[in-house]
Amino acid sequence: MSSIQQVPAPGPPEVRPLTSRFVFEPQQVMALLHKRIVGQDAALAAVEAQLKVLKADIGDRERPLGVNLFMGPTGVGKTEIVRLLAQAIHGRSDAMCRIDMQTLAQEHYAAALTGAPPGYVGSKEGVSLFDSELIEGTYSRPGIVLFDELEKASDEVLRSLLGILESGRLTLAGGSRTLDFRNSLIFMTSNIGARQANARRQRLSGGWRRLLGWFAEAESRLLERALHSRFEPEFLNRIDRILVFERIEGRWLDALLDIELSKLNQRLGPHRQLWVDESARAWLGRDHDPRFGARDLVRRVRVELEPAIADCLLAWADAGQMTATVQGQRLVVLPQG
């Protein structure tokens, strides 16, 4: 009589981490971003998803690694995220090719990107604003390209970008060389529609519309209309992600101030430490204007807190532990002990 042999159920597959050509770790990059960027959870989640795809190296080989448009008002972290990515991936916040698009507002400025056409001065040299080393990156680290304030560029300049966004290549007008963006993360920033959205927010900031979520939907439609009125469909169709950044409201001030104080204490060095009491925190955050985002608070740190620190250090050269407080109607920094 034959016996039935029990076959053991298969166990879970062995977990083996993927070997990637990219040396950065998404978790470490995101730790830095979450430490320095506040109020932008949705945007950060999208950036994290992109970094994971990049680490897995499964993207289209004939396009840039990623094409992103960051939309939102000034001072909400759009450009700062790109700087932090450069810092985390390359070790330097300026390790990126940044093009300030407001300097390319005239049609003829397209030659600054694509090079001078044949017969013009500089055509043979292939002179361009693009830095090929920063664009191409290395085998183990992607290049990072930032087109800042995109909406201010001329239509001709925007058309010159179509080939970059589609195929990851740009042949300079003289034909002397081709720039390769296929190992590049491309970021573009714009605050188009932010002024209109803020005006609408001011008019409809209270009442039943806001309670029903009607305002957020109306603002989203307004931004979409502004976007499509400025950029052609063929340009927008080449963008992988369009991320809308939130305004920095007063509830984020404490977190923003902590970030600025951490950077300030790093500059003061290991033998000095600054503490800011509640009166000073309230003073620095007074009458915050959301239209200016984090820059409103950063400006007060530079204009009011840093001079007070300088006064303290110039008066007490050996000051180590210092406290910022308000005396009368003035912010002061005093040594402890």
Whether residues 38 and 155 fall in one domain: yes
Radius of gyration of the chain (CA): 25
Whether residues 44 and 184 fall in one domain: yes
Tell me, yes or no, whether 16 lies in a domain: no
How many CA atoms are closer than 13 Å to the CA of 116, on its beta-carbon side?
9
pLDDT value at residue 197: 74
Last residue of a domain, one of 247, 271, 302: 247
Q: What is the dihedral of CA 252, 92, 99, 41, to 10 degrees?
A: -30
Long-range contacts (CB closer than 8 Å, 24 or more residues apart) made by 302-306: 304/331, 305/264, 305/276, 305/280, 305/331, 305/333, 306/264
Rounded Cα distance between 56 and 243, Å, is: 22
Q: Per residue of the chain (337 residues), give pLDDT as tens.
A: 556 666 676 767 666 667 889 999 999 999 999 999 999 999 999 999 999 999 999 989 999 999 999 998 889 999 999 999 999 999 999 999 999 998 888 877 778 888 765 544 444 445 578 999 999 999 999 999 999 999 999 999 999 899 999 999 998 876 678 899 999 999 999 999 877 777 766 666 655 455 445 555 667 788 888 999 999 999 999 999 999 998 888 888 999 999 999 999 999 988 899 999 999 999 999 988 888 888 989 999 999 999 999 999 999 988 889 999 999 889 999 998 6
Cβ–Cβ < 8 Å for 160, 114: yes
pLDDT value at residue 38: 93
Whether residues 196 and 119 fall in one domain: yes
Per DSSP, the three-state class of 301 is helix
Structural domain range at position 241: 26-247
Per DSSP, the three-state class of 321 is strand
Task: Give one DSSP letter per residue of 231-294, joined into a string.
Answer: S-HHHHTT-SEEEEPPP--GGGHHHHHHHHHHHHHHHH-TT-EEEE-HHHHHHHTTT--GGGTH
Closest Cα partner for 68 from 79, 57, 84, 56? 79
Tell me, yes or no, whether 314 lies in a domain: yes
Whether residues 300 and 239 fall in one domain: no
Rounded Cα distance between 313 and 333, Å, is: 9
pLDDT value at residue 4: 66
Tell me, yes or no, whether 4 lies in a domain: no
Tell me, yes or no, whether 134 lies in a domain: yes
**What's the domain count of the chain?**
2
Cβ–Cβ < 8 Å for 288, 299: no
Last residue of a domain, one of 247, 270, 304: 247
Q: Which residue type does 304 have?
A: E
Whether residues 66 and 110 fall in one domain: yes
Rounded Cα distance between 175 and 123, Å, is: 8
Give the number of residues written for the chain: 337
Whether residues 320 and 218 fall in one domain: no
Q: What share of the chain is helix, strand, coil (3-state, %, to 5)?
A: 45, 15, 40
Q: What is the CATH number of the domain that holds 290?
A: 1.10.8.60
pLDDT value at residue 120: 45
Token reading at 295? 């820059």
Partners of residue 334 on adjacent β-strands? 323
pLDDT value at residue 123: 46
Whether residues 187 and 113 fall in one domain: yes
pLDDT value at residue 218: 67
pLDDT value at residue 106: 81
pLDDT value at residue 231: 94
Tell me, yes or no, whether 277 lies in a domain: yes
Per DSSP, the three-state class of 132 is helix
Whether residues 138 and 257 fall in one domain: no
Tell me, yes or no, whether 7 lies in a domain: no
Q: What is the CATH number of the domain that holds 134?
A: 3.40.50.300
- H/E stretch holding 184 reads strand 184-190
| Residue 103 neighbours by CB under 8 Å, 6+ apart | 109, 112
Which CA distances in Å does 81 have to 68, 139, 271, 304?
12, 22, 30, 26
Tell me, yes or no, whether 161 lies in a domain: yes
pLDDT value at residue 98: 96
